[in-house]
Structure 1
Amino acid sequence: MLDTLSAPDKPRNEAPSSDDSQMFELAPVSLWLEDFSGVRALFDTWRAEGVTDLRAHFRDHPERVAECAHSIGVIKVNRKTLTLFEADSLATLTANLGAVFRDDMLITHLEELCQLWSGQSSFMSQTVNYTLGGRRLDVLLKGAVLPGHEARWDRVLVSLEDVTELEGARHRLAHAEAYARGLFEDSPVSLWVEDFSAVKRLLNDARAAGIVDFRTFTDVHPEFVERCMQEIHVLDVNRHTLDMFAAPNKPTLLARLPEVFRDDMRPHFREQLIDLWDGKLFQQREVLNYSLDGSEVHVHLQFSVLPEHERDWDLVLVALTDITARKKAEAYLEFLGKHDVLTKLRNRSFYVDELNRLERKGPYPVTVIMADLNGLKRINDQLGHAAGDALLRRAGEVLAKAMESPFHAARIGGDEFAILMPSTDERGGAAMIETIRQLVELNNQFYPGSLLSFSMAAATCQQGERLEAAVQRADLLMYEEKRAHYANQGPAGLND
């Protein structure tokens, strides 16, 4: 409050005869009749000294704010004032004004003084006072120089409205908002606040146009899904989102959203739209996004239209949990389940499953190539298993290089390999064997030392035949070639 920190020396307890004492006494707000003539005299002195900017003057001479406060005299207060400040009389109140107006009160008093300095005849501020019992009061202060006293400011009426409860509610609301903002910003998952109202309008338009089967509609019109993606308005994201998507700040991320939601995200978003069409306002699914550095970000998405926004979908919360590490682990486990760790080719489990699938569904003809790595036992015995493993890895490199979809090469035993070639006849099988032999020759030029070689043979299965019979034929032919290979090596190759 703007008022004095001590009572004036001379008694000022008589109000002018024009005061309506009864109305003043019974007013439901705290009223103070004060004498600001001392403030006016100080202002005149400072102006004469050349002061033009009172705020700068107070900054250089902060003690003069208190000087102004001490120059204000309290003439009278009303009954509400005594009750509010827990005083039994005006004398008790004025004798303890130092306890009422303290701490940061002078900061707001400075603002009141600057309003008067600028030529205003009234002033207003929100400040803190204290009752004589020490209770804090948040008050809204309004003051006005009474008519006829503009020259001397010797009669100023000041009202104080107790806004402690209102300020308490405001502080509680601010605390709740800060708490909610903290939960949002510091959440360990990526949070997005989005506006889906434009998407809602598009879906409503589709219904109005007579669309019933939305899945079929989006099959025929994929551009509708694309348009819905473009109509999503992101209102806010939290800090974890910036870290997850390698964004330096929010404006950068929001400006580059097409880089985040693209490619493999579209099928997931289509399913999300279909669920929304069916009225599912809370959804969970795993989707693929992309960070701004281009890397894949696998996320578990939880989508929820917030309560009281179900009509327009104008406030939606999306939570994204990064499951990239988990997806990589799953992919690796899946790889291990279908691949040979050493050669990186498919393993026997995959080979058996694929053989059964081709048996049932084809497409025919199916050609099978059986291959056996020559000399592996001799290398293991003479050079050690590390050298044998190196030769197996080279075998995997060659066979993988020769494969094109839908062909598959698998390691089905220690030195045994099989190649499954659907929709391929005998000529295709012969061409594949020739390709492998050429790649083996190149590999041997690149890797000096142990020579890589295969014994290979192919057999073709036609529609109506048993695929296992073709495997057996290829296996027999391969072993004939293997015996011929060792026979050509003489006694040195007999134990390979």
Structure 2
Amino acid sequence: MFELAPVSLWLEDYSALRQLFDRWRTEGVTDLRAHLAADPARLSECSASLRILRVNRRTLELFAAPSQDALVANLDKVFRDDMHDAVVHELQALWSGQLEFSNQSANYALDGRRLDVHIRARILPGHENSWDRVLVSLEDITGQVRAGQQLRRSEQHARDLFEHSPVSLWVEDFSAVKTLLDGARAQGIDDFKTFITVHPEFVNRCMSEIRVIDVNQQTLRMFGARSKDELLNNIGRVFRGEMHESFAEQLLDLWEGKTFQQREVVNYALSGDPIHIHMQFSIPADHLADWSLVLLSLVDITARKKAEAYLEYLGKHDVLTQLRNRAFYVEELNRITRKGPWPLTVIAIDLNGLKAVNDDRGHAAGDALLRRVGEVLGKAVDSPACAARIGGDEFCVLLPGTDERGAHALQERILSMLELNNQFYPGQPISLAMGVASCASGDLVEATIHRADKAMYAEKERYYQDRGIDRRSAG
């Protein structure tokens, strides 16, 4: 049985080790680990005191030894390197009076292969006092150890990918949300969209039932949190405001079986700043039954949103005056022509004397005057009226749903603002020529604009005549 056993068996004599322990105890040693650590030679002395009596065939195969004599002669090649740390554990077990021990260690075959082994040793019955017969078994667990190491490396790799991803990643548990949705379905609710509209508290309850399992480092950076605990303890500050409507849409998609979703949402950093986010939501296939694991990735698109808003602003505004531009004016005029409201009143406006300022003081000075006109009209004109720069020194105010009486009141307000502006900029006063016209239907809009222009030019002509200025040279 010894010779044919499928595991490596060693019959050894530990009697010299027993005698060494007795001597050390006589010398007053009580802490074996400290005693061995104080002098590495003592560990070698312990190993040298062990005598191998016999090994079986499996041992020779495992260690690539042609014979027992060859194995014994090369024990320094078998027991080396990290094996010594395990030996201390085994010696401590014997020192403390145990008759057997179990341990995991590393040995080496004579051909250089590393062998991870599980060691079991037992002082045989009848030899408890002398330790002259100890049976040691070695089970080769190299495959299991390497598989475990590979698994740990894979897990660490996956963990590193999660933790250091440049995208905010969340792992969440939606199982309670699924229970609530299943309960609503069991109650016979068919029109879920109407249900959550009538019962918004159901959406709030679902939000409160989400359990965040983990987040990565990019998430902490994105939301300005110093730790995961700080973020998760303040989750109500992150998901608020319009997030209720976004989550309601997400619930509606889940109700309809959409377990992969993409949408743009707004969250908030712990500082209170809004963060525009592109969110991807996915329930892995092996968690579709209970939704206990949900993966979310969040990409900060705040910069993109700001760029889009700025481009949209540029598309509808005059950069110099900050008023609406000609493109928006034409679009708004067409909209009012089709839909009203009526009456529509138009105020045509022109800056007096711009050409002379450009010629005498340069275009920078002229631009400064145009900016001041933008300040005046921007403060005087409120929505739904629209003030726009439609040419070099030409402006227009559209007043939908306003008659000429209302337009004249706005004229007075513009003049009042103009006076204040001239007081603030005493060096170069600005003057505006204005003309007003009104109509009650879309087919009269073009003629109304023409009449407003005509009235404006007539006032402009009076301005130059009163000052004895040639309009063609003054602009």
Q: Tell me which residue corresponds to 2:247.
A: 269
After superposition, give the CA deviation of every residue in 1:343-396 in whole Å (9 maximum; x if it has no partner). Answer: 111111111111111222333343332222222222111111001111111221
Which residue of 172, 193, 211 maps to 1:194? 172
Q: Tell me which residue corresponds to 2:137.
A: 159
Cα offset for 1:153? 2.4
Q: Does residue 1:221 correspond to 2:199, yes or no?
A: yes
Spell out structure 1 runs of 4+ moving beyond 4 A: none
Query: Using the alignment, how far apart are the partners of 1:453 and 1:376 within structure 2?
Result: 10
CA contact (8 A) 1:287 1:301 kept: yes
Question: 148-157 vs 88-97, which deviates more?
Answer: 148-157
Cα offset for 1:286? 2.2
Which residue of 435, 446, 454 maps to 2:432? 454
Question: 198-207 vs 332-341, which deviates more?
Answer: 198-207
Which residue of 8, 26, 44 maps to 2:4? 26
Q: Does residue 1:396 correspond to 2:377, yes or no?
A: no
Q: Tell me which residue corresponds to 1:211.
A: 189
Which residue of 428, 442, 460 maps to 2:406? 428
How well do the aligned residues superpose, as a CA RMSD in angstroms? 2.2
Structure 2 matches for 1:115-126, cutoff 5 A? 115-126=93-104
CA contact (8 A) 1:66 1:106 kept: no
After superposition, give the CA deviation of every residue in 1:103-137 in whole Å (9 maximum; x if it has no partner). Answer: 11001111222222333222221111111111111
Q: Tell me which residue corresponds to 2:48.
A: 70
Structure 2 matches for 1:75-86, cutoff 5 A? 75-86=53-64
Query: Using the alignment, how far apart are the partners of 1:57 and 1:432 within structure 2?
Result: 100
Query: Using the alignment, how far apart are the partners of 1:476 and 1:111 within structure 2?
Result: 106
Provide the secondary structure at the position in 2 that maps to 1:308: helix
Question: 233-242 vs 125-134, which deviates more?
Answer: 233-242
Q: Tell me which residue corresponds to 1:19.
A: none
Query: Using the alignment, how far apart are the partners of 2:211 and 2:442 within structure 1?
Result: 58
TM-score normalised per structure 2: 0.93
TM-score normalised per structure 1: 0.89
Which residue of 339, 342, 348 maps to 1:361? 339
Q: Tell me which residue corresponds to 2:281.
A: 303
Which residue of 382, 398, 407 maps to 2:385? 407
Amino acid at match of 2:282: S
After superposition, give the CA deviation of every residue in 1:66-113 in whole Å (9 maximum; x if it has no partner). Answer: 221221111222222122112232212111111111111001111222
Provide the secondary structure at the position in 1 that maps to 2:469: helix
Q: Tell me which residue corresponds to 2:216.
A: 238
Q: Tell me which residue corresponds to 2:229.
A: 251
Q: Tell me which residue corresponds to 1:373.
A: 351
CA contact (8 A) 2:169 2:296 kept: yes
Query: Using the alignment, how far apart are the partners of 2:447 and 2:174 within structure 1?
Result: 60
| Structure 2 runs not aligned, ≥5 long | none
Structure 2 matches for 1:33-112, cutoff 5 A? 33-112=11-90
Amino acid at match of 2:261: Q
Q: Does residue 1:177 correspond to 2:155, yes or no?
A: yes
Q: Tell me which residue corresponds to 1:321.
A: 299
Distance 1:270 1:419, change over 3 A: farther
CA contact (8 A) 2:338 2:442 kept: no
Q: Does residue 1:484 correspond to 2:462, yes or no?
A: yes
Amino acid at match of 1:283: Q
Q: Tell me which residue corresponds to 2:272.
A: 294
CA contact (8 A) 2:265 2:277 kept: yes
Provide the secondary structure at the position in 2 that maps to 1:458: strand
Percent of pairs with identical residues: 61
Distance 1:456 1:292, change over 3 A: same
Distance 1:392 1:59, change over 3 A: farther
Query: Using the alignment, how far apart are the partners of 1:433 and 1:443 within structure 2?
Result: 15
Cα offset for 1:464? 6.6
Cα offset for 1:309? 0.8
Provide the secondary structure at the position in 2 that maps to 1:58: helix
Cα offset for 1:465? 6.2
Distance 1:256 1:466, change over 3 A: farther
Cα offset for 1:492? 6.7
Distance 1:364 1:329, change over 3 A: same
Q: Does residue 1:474 correspond to 2:452, yes or no?
A: yes
Amino acid at match of 1:68: C
After superposition, give the CA deviation of every residue in 1:37-87 in whole Å (9 maximum; x if it has no partner). Answer: 233233333333333332233332233222212211112222221221122
Q: Tell me which residue corresponds to 1:143.
A: 121
Query: Using the alignment, how far apart are the partners of 2:228 and 2:451 within structure 1?
Result: 65
Query: Using the alignment, how far apart are the partners of 1:365 and 1:58 within structure 2?
Result: 103
Corresponding pairs, count: 474
Question: 73-82 vs 46-55, which deviates more?
Answer: 46-55
CA contact (8 A) 1:244 1:291 kept: yes
Distance 1:390 1:256, change over 3 A: same
Cα offset for 1:333? 1.6
Query: Using the alignment, how far apart are the partners of 1:491 and 1:239 within structure 2?
Result: 71
Cα offset for 1:160? 0.9
Provide the secondary structure at the position in 2 that maps to 1:391: helix
Amino acid at match of 1:30: S
| Structure 1 runs not aligned, ≥5 long | 1-22
Cα offset for 1:147? 2.5
Q: Does residue 1:351 correspond to 2:329, yes or no?
A: yes
Distance 1:157 1:465, change over 3 A: same
Cα offset for 1:412? 0.9
Query: Using the alignment, how far apart are the partners of 1:475 and 1:220 within structure 2?
Result: 54
Cα offset for 1:217? 2.4
CA contact (8 A) 2:369 2:430 kept: yes
